[in-house]
Amino acid sequence: MTDTAGSNVYSPYLPQRGHESEPRPGAPAGALARKPSRLAFGRLPRGGILFGPVLLILVWEFASAIGWLSPKFLAAPSTALVTGYDLLVSGTLAEHFLASAKRAYLGLGIGVAIGLALALAAGLSRIGEASIDGLVQIKRAVPTLALIPLAILWLGIGEVMKIALIASSVMVPIYINTHAALRGIDLRHVELARSVGITRSEFLREVASPGALPGFFTGLRLAVTTCWTALVVLEQINTSEGIGYLMNRARDYGQTDIIVVGLAIYAALGLGSDLAVRFWERRALGYRKALNS
């Protein structure tokens, strides 16, 4: 190489001759190691998220085995597993599970439909927004549980009341997130739509709806857990089937193993629903994955 700096000048920015041929310790010449950035945590390996739950179950099982945890206080995971298996084989579990799932998903479906309709009405017209948005914000501020007394007076203590309350609690996150996404639609896309001269219904279908879809999915992920949460409370009221009923009855008899089975089912359903929504979301919003810049 040419000596640009002159041999008697030392500059930290110029390669110094004497150093060229000596490899730096620990760094193979020419190889740039691709170290993960220290600013962000590395990604967990597949299934790494299971570490915490598995650890908890092991400690719990151990504590039960050596007698620290009495079965009256909390049944061991293995006991709960056996109980769960027995309930499954006898068909009891399926019956209660189906009753719960029917309520939760019926409520979810109705709530999503209402939330979506309200969000569209409020997001796309001024009159809609003026008449709907304030009401939903108020509804949001009132806890679902606080509506139970009125709902019982109006709808009785049967299934209708339960499904209506689930729907009303599901509707809120769907509405809030979809509406916010519609409001926040990229104005540059609106301008483009105008410049290519599309109709209002084409705009709704091809610009507004896809633009609001990410918000809808955020709402849906919240909604699928909300519907099960609401269910837990509602299944304490006048019912003879459902996971919540099963757990309540178990409480009366001190059967902590059945309670644990119920909890496990709620957890599995909540996680499963979330997983299903995320899978659907990834497929529907696949175009975002290819982020280039």
Partner 1 sequence: MNALAQPLNLPPERAGTEVRLRGVTRSFSGRTVLRDVTLDFAPGEFVALIGKSGSGKSTLLRAIAGLDDGVDGSGTIAVPDDRSVLFQDSRLLPWKTVLRNVVFGFRAPDAEARGRRAIADVGLAGREDAWPNALSGGEQQRVALARSLVRQPRLLLADEPFGALDALTRIRMHGLLFDLIRQRRPTVLLVTHDVDEAIKLADRVLVMDDGRIVLDRHVGLPHPRPKSDARFEALRTSLLAALGVSDDV
> In the bound complex, what is the minimum distance in angstroms from residue 209's beta carbon to partner 1?
9
Smaller CB separation from partner 1, 2 or 199: 199
- By beta-carbon proximity to partner 1, the closer residue of 120 and 161 is 120
**Which CB atom, from 109 or from 210, has the smaller least distance to partner 1?**
210
Choice between 86 and 186, CB closer to partner 1: 186
Which C-beta is closer to partner 1: that of 102 or that of 189? 189
Name the nearest CA neighbour of 119 among 243, 246, 208, 221.
208
Contact (Cβ atoms closer than 8 angstroms) between residue 233 and residue 243: no
DSSP string, the chain: ---SS-TT---TTS--HHHHTSPPTT--TT----PPPSSSPPPPPTTGGGHHHHHHHHHHHHHHHTTSS-TTT---HHHHHHHHHHHHHHTHHHHHHHHHHHHHHHHHHHHHHHHHHHHHHHHH-HHHHHHHHHHHHHHHHS-HHHHHHHHHHHH-SSHHHHHHHHHHHHHHHHHHHHHHHHHT--HHHHHHHHHTT--HHHHIIIIIHHHHHHHHHHHHHHHHHHHHHHHHHHTTSS-SSSHHHHHHHHHHHT-HHHHHHHHHHHHHHHHHHHHHHHHHHHHHTGGGTT---
CB of residue 85 vs partner 1: minimum separation in angstroms? 46
Smallest gap from residue 187 Cβ to partner 1 (A) = 11
Minimum CB distance to partner 1 smaller for 17 or for 194: 194
- CB of 213: closest distance to partner 1 in angstroms? 8
In the bound complex, what is the minimum distance in angstroms from residue 291's beta carbon to partner 1? 5
What minimum distance in Å lies between the beta carbon of 186 and partner 1?
9
Give me the least distance between CB of 120 and partner 1, in Å please: 18
Q: Which positions lie near partner 1, rule CB under 8 A?
A: 188-189, 191-198, 202, 206-207, 210-211, 213, 285-293
Closest CA to 183 of 121, 237, 230: 121
Question: For partner 1, which is the closer residue by CB, 171 or 212?
Answer: 212
